[in-house]
Copies of this chain bind each other. A is one copy, B any other.
Amino acid sequence: MSARTGPTTGTTAGPTTGQPLSRRERLRAETTREITTIAMRQMAAEGPGAISLRGIAREMGMTARAIYSYFATRDDLVTALVDEISASLADALEKARDAVPATDPAGRLVAWGLALREWALANPEGFRLIYGDPVPGYTPPDDGPAAEAARRICCGLNRLVAEVHAPNTPVGGLFDWSDFAPSYLAKIQADPLSLSPSVVALALRVWGRLHGLVTLEIYGHLRAVCNDPATLYRAEILGLAGSPGTVPTP
């Protein structure tokens, strides 16, 4: 029912047939694009909480009502933004990783980590939208493109860490498969590369390290302290690519 009466969720393209887009559908896609673009700009300017259908409509020179032809509710719009931004992050990370030949696993991990910070600095509000406080009153769906992107990011890091560190690497603390969430295990074990619990735990710790410095920087807590967060971050990430957790001596 909703698929017929309600507006589409924006990026779901085209008619049921596989024909090329008609003029109408092209216009629709363009307008949808414009809406999300402006929403991104609003978010970048005043934070995720500032996303509002009325504000977008004002900036587009349209009536608020018009937006409802494209997104049934504000939450649908936010979901579309989260989906797009999440995919953008996952793409950026995979692209950076793949720019380093597979014969250099440590280099791939370093590239992945550096790309995380660079993406976050280039899209600070996107980073906040994904990892920070959600928009007030918004509850994300627990599946959909955003969840898929989160899976790509998580599993991607798992593989990188697994390739850098030998299986059964001691990582401090004893971990068992039962330490992880079942739904996560299902995704992990679909991965062709066999992972050990220790490596998965290490990957989470690596994620935490990178996420911590990036978060501190994005939220401005490093700015008051450190002139050059990049050097700090690089020191941390180079430590990760060596033996597990070890900081190489200069």
Contacts and interface: CB of A to CB of B under 8 A. Distances in A.
Contact of A174 (B46, B48, B184, B250): B250
Nearest to A225: B184
A231 interface: yes
Interface stretch (A23-31, A70-78, A204-212): A204-212
Nearest to A128: B133
Contacts of A47: 133, 136
Contacts of A222: 204
A239 B173 CA distance: 10
A178 to B, nearest CB: 7
A211 B223 CA distance: 16
Contacts of A235: 171-173, 201, 205
B232 A201 contact: yes
Contact of A211 (B175, B215, B250): B215
B250 A133 contact: no
A226 B136 contact: no
Interface string A178-191: 11110110000000
- Residue among A222, A223, A225 with max Cβ neighbours from chain B (10 Å): A225
Contacts of A132: 132-133, 219
A244 interface: yes
A224 B184 contact: yes
A153 to B, nearest CB: 10
A58 to B, nearest CB: 18
13 contacts: A50-B136, A132-B133, A133-B133, A171-B247, A172-B248, A173-B250, A178-B227, A179-B226, A181-B223, A204-B222, A208-B212, A211-B212, A244-B247
